[in-house]
């Protein structure tokens, strides 16, 4: 009899533990049925829509240095060092000289200078005599004309002689330098180099005529180069060609790009994203968090332990983000991963 009582007591003591074990198993089963998801809070931020095109950069200013006189080319030296491609020069800086003694003799700079000095002295003499009545006004005017002609002849001779000296027409960097022509006889029209000022660069891009209505002078442009993958550059639209090419149905837009650090170079192939609409404080979510259900854009947010389906209205879209006009609020927990199989009111388990 006592043994039966002992068994009954043991069973009663184990009964709560059995119930606890069952409850634990049910909780674990429910947890296993919950869909794992990754969430992030809905935030506000900037988003913009673009019209994209590609083009080739060129320097804002480029001037060629060309020989106007034939002769033997002698390269200039800067502190004893020969000029090289890529060197920075200032406007008026000497780049080379052309030796042509025959040309210099024909110009006769010294002779014209002497003639100008003689004519100037003669004019001074005639002016003094005119005050004393020693010469007529006609004779004085003739002296004045001779003095003026001689001065102009001298200045012309100087300009001709200066053609033997090749100088930088603008400040910038030497490009396409023909350094191997040193010591050789070069003809008229020989191109020594180009001087490029690319502190600001320009790009011309062609856009389809359907984009013409979106273009305005001054629009912001984001410029990127495949050669400089980790940086973007800011530019603006400076010119819009009003004509449409009848063959391609495109028009040309000129873009000016600031290049203070000189990272961009003339000839670079670039992509230009012209900003046509910009919202600085929009509700923005990753594009991957957006789904289409019954031909309607939807997203899921986590409310407690369940997923809630939200129909949304979208605005600007980029490659990675989308603007939400209605349906989501800042701060809500948006499902960004694991939403593929979700339904409204699905049980979820946040994993990150």
Q: Are the C-beta atoms of residues 53 and 274 closer than 8 Å to each other?
A: yes
- pLDDT (average), residues 205-213: 94
pLDDT of 9 above 90 = no
pLDDT: which is higher, 102 or 4: 102
Strand order in the sheet with 165-167: 165-167, 94-99, 71-75, 185-186
DSSP per-residue string spanning 73-135: EEE-EETTEE--TT-EE-TT-EEEEEE-HHHHHHH-HHHHHHHHHHHHHHHHHHHHHHHTTSS
Average pLDDT, the chain: 88
Determine the Cα–Cα distance for residues 324 and 313; give it in Å rounded to an integer: 6
Q: What is the token pair recorded at 198?
A: 């690319």
Evaluate if pTM is beyond 0.75: no
Determine the Cα–Cα distance for residues 123 and 75; give it in Å rounded to an integer: 43
pLDDT of 255 above 90 = yes
Domains and CATH numbers, the chain: 34-47+281-350 (2.40.420.20), 51-58+197-279 (2.40.30.170), 69-98+165-194 (2.40.50), 103-162 (1.10.287)
**pLDDT tens readout for residues 103-160:** 999 999 999 999 999 999 999 999 999 888 888 889 889 999 999 999 999 999 999 9
Using pLDDT thresholds of 50, 70 and 90, give the confidence band for residue 83.
confident
Q: Residue 13's pLDDT is what?
A: 53
DSSP 148: H
**pLDDT tens readout for residues 54-69:** 999 999 999 999 999 9
CA proximity to 190, closest of 199, 177, 202? 177
**pLDDT tens readout for residues 28-57:** 444 457 899 999 999 999 999 999 999 999
Query: Between vectors from CA 165 to CA 86 and to CA 152, what angle results, nearest 5°?
Result: 140
pLDDT: which is higher, 170 or 22: 170
Q: What is the token pair recorded at 29?
A: 């089963």
**pLDDT tens readout for residues 91-113:** 999 999 999 999 999 999 999 99
């Amino acid at each position: 009899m006592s043994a039966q009582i002992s068994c009954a007591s043991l069973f009663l003591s184990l009964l709560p533990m059995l119930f606890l074990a069952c409850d634990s198993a049910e909780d674990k089963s429910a947890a296993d049925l919950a869909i794992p998801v990754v969430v992030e809070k809905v935030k506000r931020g900037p988003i913009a829509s673009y019209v994209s095109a590609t083009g080739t950069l060129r320097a804002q200013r480029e001037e060629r240095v060309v020989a106007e006189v034939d002769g033997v080319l002698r390269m200039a030296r800067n502190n004893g060092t020969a000029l090289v491609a890529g060197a920075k020069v200032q406007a008026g800086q000497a780049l080379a000289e052309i030796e042509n003694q025959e040309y210099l003799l024909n110009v006769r700079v010294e002779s014209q200078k002497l003639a100008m000095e003689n004519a100037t002295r003669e004019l001074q003499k005639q002016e003094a005599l005119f005050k004393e009545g020693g010469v007529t006004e006609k004779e004085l005017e003739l002296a004045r004309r001779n003095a003026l002609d001689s001065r102009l002849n001298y200045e012309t001779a100087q300009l001709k002689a200066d053609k033997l000296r090749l100088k930088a027409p603008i400040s910038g960097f030497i490009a396409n330098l023909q350094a191997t022509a040193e010591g050789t006889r070069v003809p008229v029209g020989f191109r020594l180099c180009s001087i490029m000022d690319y502190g600001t660069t320009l790009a011309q891009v062609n856009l389809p005529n359907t984009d013409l209505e979106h273009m305005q002078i001054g629009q912001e442009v984001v410029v990127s180069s495949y050669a400089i993958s980790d940086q973007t550059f800011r530019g603006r639209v400076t010119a819009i060609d009003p004509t449409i090419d009848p063959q391609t149905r495109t028009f040309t837009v000129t873009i000016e790009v600031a290049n203070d650090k000189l990272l961009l170079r003339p000839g670079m192939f670039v992509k230009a994203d012209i900003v046509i609409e910009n919202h600085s404080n929009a509700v923005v979510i990753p594009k991957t968090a957006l789904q289409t259900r019954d031909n309607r854009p939807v997203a899921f947010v986590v409310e407690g332990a369940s997923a809630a389906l939200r129909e949304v209205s979208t605005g600007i879209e980029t490659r990675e983000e989308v603007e939400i006009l209605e349906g989501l609020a800042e701060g809500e927990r948006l499902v960004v991963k694991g939403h593929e199989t979700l339904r409204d009111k699905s049980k979820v388990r946040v994993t990150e």
